[in-house]
Structure 1
Amino acid sequence: MQWKVAILTASDKGSRGEREDTSAQVIRELVEEELTGIIVDYRIVPDEQDEITAALIEMIDYYQADLVLTTGGTGLASRDWTPEATRRVIDREVPGMAEAMRFYAMQKNRSYMLTRSICGIRGQSLIVNLPGNPKGVHECLMAIMDQLPQALRMLSGLPGE
């Protein structure tokens, strides 16, 4: 099965073209290599809760993404609003995935306990918040990669393994 994946970067500097979006590139590579997914939408928005919320809704409701992977906006800074925007649009949280990402990443760097990433379901789609740096994206996404196909199958109503 080829999953439809959308990538959303929350970054003030990235949205102004002042920073290259290397985290999204890591996501793209992992999605194509590990998940056999196809990218159906990619965008960079400023760290504004309303813009993040609107982008998440459009990616799922219009582009029919099975999986939305966000990067950025999950820390403790005053401009980090991705988890709050995600909570606005999801029907239910999937706390085990966020816990697994934090646990796995903390084995390498204890500062990952400070990430506020969440994972949740909107309709039949899964949203996963990832950190804003390429190394954190790689570690956190690989922590759950083996379970993503099963989660997506369950959400789409397909039989599991």
Structure 2
Amino acid sequence: MNWKLSLRACSAGDSLPLAPAATGGPAGLPAHLLQDPALRDVPFLPVGTVFHQEDGPGLARVTGHVWLPACGDGHALRCPLLTALTDLPVGDVLLTPTKTGRSLAWITLSDKGSLGLRTDTSGPALAQMVAEALPLCHTQGFLLPDEPAPLRALLTELALGQGYDLILTSGGTGISPRDISPQTTAAVLDYPLPGFSVAMLTASLAVTPRAAISRAVAGVLGQSIIINLPGSLKAVRENLAAVLPALGHALDKLHGDPADCGG
């Protein structure tokens, strides 16, 4: 399905909130959806969705969703946030939104990292491992302190508000007073995936008996798979390697693939 967009000039890398033209929206919006004049809200587009001309390259990618201030009816407006993939000219253009590949969000839990006192290496490493195993259309990293409230809010927003396919956390899986990832994650899940946890624990126990204190959980929220990983670079690689072969199939089934699981 084609969408008619009215664009204002922007450069590659610029952000464009996308709103229905019928709402008017706040002054200065760089892009409006013109497809349906009666439309108030833009249909949900998960992160990683790319707008492109027919048989042409991608021009803009959905990289998030934002709430814009109240419009004419007094209600705030939730809109996709596009990132321009190339310089875009002023004018109306007919584009098709498609999503190919998986979207990945990784969250590093670190008090020192969140204060800029430590460089995060585990997050970029897990992103690279996933990219080598799955086709990715969008990747975004986040850095949080070891606090339950910000993690709970971010997990919920990434899964239900942004539509990420895969969300990985790094750090906080042990039993120290600041290790809060497992209980915080478990509290927001629709249901757990115990097989992922068992696979990671089994792989870790083959390396060190200290892995027995890991409390890492995995599960589903909405149409997102969330997996807790340890904080150390070595342990991240070991644990993620244990579940990577199953991730593609798991995401296919979660998103409605009717094919048999055997074979």
Query: What is the RMSD computed on CA atoms of the aligned residues?
Result: 1.3
What pairs with 1:18-97 in structure 2 (closer than 5 Å)? Answer: 18-97=117-196
State the 1:143 CA deviation. 0.3
State the one-letter code of the partner of 1:157: G
Q: Structure 2: how far apart are the matches of 1:37 and 1:129?
A: 20
Q: Structure 1: how far apart are the matches of 2:150 and 2:230?
A: 18
Larger Rg: 2
1:97–1:119 contact (8 Å) kept in structure 2: yes
Change (3 A) 1:71 1:129: same
State the 1:4 CA deviation. 0.8
State the 1:40 CA deviation. 3.5
Q: Structure 1: how far apart are the matches of 2:132 and 2:257?
A: 22
Matched, 1:102 2:204: no
| 2:210 counterpart (88, 102, 111) | 111
State the one-letter code of the partner of 2:227: V
In structure 2, the residue corresponding to 1:65 is in which secondary structure? coil
1:40–1:63 contact (8 Å) kept in structure 2: no
Deviations along 1:29-51, whole A, 9 cap, x unmatched?
Answer: 10111122244431111100011
Q: Which residue of 2 aligns with 1:151?
A: 250
Q: What stretches of structure 2 of length at least 5 have no aligned partner?
A: 1-99
Q: Which residue of 1 aligns with 2:233?
A: 134
In structure 2, the residue corresponding to 1:62 is in which secondary structure? helix
1:74–1:116 contact (8 Å) kept in structure 2: yes
Aligned length: 161
Change (3 A) 1:50 1:132: same
The structure that is strand-richer by fraction is 2
State the one-letter code of the partner of 2:188: V
2:122–2:233 contact (8 Å) kept in structure 1: yes
The structure that is helix-richer by fraction is 1
Q: TM-score, normalised by structure 1?
A: 0.95
- Structure 1 runs, 4 residues or longer, greater than 4 Å off: none
Q: Which has the higher contact order (CA 8 A, sep 6+)?
A: 1
Q: Percent identity among equivalent residues? A: 37
